[in-house]
């Protein structure tokens, strides 16, 4: 996907109401900015001492990271704004940006802290990091490590008086076995498969998905050598919520935990007529949300495997594929309605039931760039 945003976007906050009191909840060390990490979304949240201590007790997804930087008691304001539609927060020193965002429906929450001192606070970006795509740090070593892992340095966001300390947190593993299946999970639409992924190179990705002409929701296993920390160079489960296939604006990428190459996982993706979706690994729900662009329209169930850049090889298996086409379905067969080859091969045949297992494999060639800058190459199989 192409990067389009240059703003100081720090990403969605799971449970936005948990952090709404940031500007009013002063810390016991008023000049210190603390950082929480969300192990499910990959987001880093900059907060007061009170919020830093409180969030982990309200949600198991939140963890206390180390002190990120110290700020002066006075100086240029760093504003915090909140988007009530997406749950997203933005920190900015720009008065004009504050005014523009406020006019576009963002809620101004107050002055988060102040800029000042000689220590730069760096702004980092990684298009494949999902909700945690933006990260600010005053720690030069963390900046260097992230750049070595594929993050882009976008410049100085503001200044601090002290760099503090920072570390890259660990990622959660695959969830415990649950009981949800395509048969017992209520949904207008659903697709399931036992998915395993193998490959070599810088990146490879296999997923089940629902798409329209302009939008989509996908869930699968991805390996990205330059992916977002703490998933850098590690296979992980990834939910892609695509509200526009033409631009990155509003698109969300959520890692839900670590996976293993060559291991088979039962994945389930459900979709309601209003665009609400949920994703499951081995019968356990790992994430959910809503995509209004998927509401009340024709959707197509598919499986897909792609590679990141030229020379990358992917080999995937989709066993026991099942597709729910209506809310009251009692049959979950998957008849191949179309195959979209783009450099990879498959054993699926149009007009026939999906083979068991359905395989997709190939090596990327002829791609101008990589999957962050161009449409990735691979193969897609669609079902009716």
Strands 377-383 and 300-307: antiparallel
Output the pLDDT for position 265. 97
b (16+ CB within 10 A) / e for 5-20:
eeebbbbbbbeeebbb
Which pLDDT band holds residue 37 (cuts at 50, 70, 90)?
confident
Tell me the CA end-to-end span of the chain in Å, nearest whole number: 27
Task: List, for residues 344-365, the tens digit of each pLDDT value.
Answer: 999 999 999 999 999 999 999 9
Output the pLDDT for position 86. 58
Enumerate the domain spans of the chain.
9-160, 189-383
For range 74-101, the mean pLDDT: 81
Task: List, for residues 247-281, the tens digit of each pLDDT value.
Answer: 766 788 888 889 999 999 999 999 999 999 999 99
Output the pLDDT for position 166. 56
40: closest CA among 59, 20, 16?
Answer: 59
pTM of the model: 0.66
For range 280-301, the mean pLDDT: 93
CA 243 and chain centroid, separation = 13
**Hunting for tokens 């060559």 — which residue is that?**
262
Q: Which two tokens stand for residue 236?
A: 């992980």
Which pLDDT band holds residue 327 (cuts at 50, 70, 90)?
confident
Output the pLDDT for position 165. 61
Q: What is the mean pLDDT of the chain?
A: 82
The answer, yes or no, to whether residue 13 has pLDDT greater than 50, is no
Contact 177, 282 (CB under 8 A): yes
Span 189-383: which CATH code?
2.60.120.200
The answer, yes or no, to whether residue 90 has pLDDT greater than 80, is no
Output the pLDDT for position 25. 36
Strands 62-64 and 88-92: unpaired
- DSSP conformation letters of 125-173: E-GGGGGG-EEEE--HHHHHHHHHTTPEEEEEEEEESB------PPPP-
Distances (CA, A) of 58 to 52, 86, 356: 11, 20, 43
**What percent of the chain stands above pLDDT 70?**
84
Computed from CA positions of residues 152, 157, 162, 164, in that sequence, does the dihedral angle turn out positive or negative?
Answer: negative
For range 51-57, the mean pLDDT: 79
The answer, yes or no, to whether residue 370 has pLDDT greater than 60, is yes
332: closest CA among 311, 301, 361, 303?
Answer: 301
Which pLDDT band holds residue 204 (cuts at 50, 70, 90)?
very high
Task: List, for residues 102-143, the tens digit of each pLDDT value.
Answer: 999 989 988 888 888 888 988 888 766 655 667 788 888 888
Contact 171, 236 (CB under 8 A): yes
Residues forming beta bridges with residue 254, ordered by sequence position: 239
Which pLDDT band holds residue 193 (cuts at 50, 70, 90)?
very high
């Amino acid at each position: 996907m192409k990067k389009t945003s240059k703003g100081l976007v720090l990403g969605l906050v799971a449970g936005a109401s948990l952090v709404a009191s940031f500007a009013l909840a002063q810390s016991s060390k008023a000049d210190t900015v603390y950082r929480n990490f969300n192990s499910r979304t990959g987001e880093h949240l900059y907060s007061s001492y009170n919020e830093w201590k409180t969030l982990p007790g309200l949600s198991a997804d939140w963890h206390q990271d180390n002190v990120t930087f110290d700020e002066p008691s006075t100086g240029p304001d760093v504003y915090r704004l909140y988007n009530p539609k997406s749950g997203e927060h933005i920190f900015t020193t720009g008065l004009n940006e504050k005014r523009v965002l406020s006019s576009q429906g963002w809620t101004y929450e107050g002055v988060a802290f102040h800029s000042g001192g000689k220590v730069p606070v760096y702004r980092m970006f990684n298009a494949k990091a999902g909700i945690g795509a933006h990260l600010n740090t005053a720690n030069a070593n963390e900046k260097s490590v992230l750049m070595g892992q594929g993050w882009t340095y976008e410049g100085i966001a503001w200044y601090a008086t002290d760099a503090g300390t920072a570390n890259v947190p660990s990622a959660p593993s695959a969830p415990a076995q649950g009981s949800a299946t395509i048969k017992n999970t209520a949904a207008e639409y659903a697709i399931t498969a036992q998915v395993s992924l193998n490959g070599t190179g810088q990146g490879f990705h296999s997923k089940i998905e629902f798409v329209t002409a302009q939008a989509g929701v996908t869930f699968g296993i991805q390996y990205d050598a330059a992916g977002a920390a703490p998933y850098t160079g590690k296979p992980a489960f990834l939910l892609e919520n695509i509200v526009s296939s033409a631009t990155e604006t509003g698109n969300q990428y959520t890692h839900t935990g670590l996976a293993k190459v060559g291991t088979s996982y039962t994945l389930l993706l459900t979709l309601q007529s209003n665009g609400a979706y949920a994703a499951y690994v081995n019968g356990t729900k790992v994430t959910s949300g809503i995509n209004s662009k998927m509401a009340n329209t024709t959707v197509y169930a598919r499986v897909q495997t792609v590679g990141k850049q030229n020379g990358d090889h992917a080999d995937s298996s989709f066993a026991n594929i099942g597709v729910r086409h209506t809310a009251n379905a009692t049959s979950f067969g998957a008849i191949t309605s179309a195959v979209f080859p783009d450099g990879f091969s498959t054993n699926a045949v149009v007009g026939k039931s999906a083979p068991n297992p359905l395989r997709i494999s190939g090596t990327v060639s002829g791609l101008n760039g990589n999957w962050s800058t161009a449409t990735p190459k691979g193969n897609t199989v669609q079902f009716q």
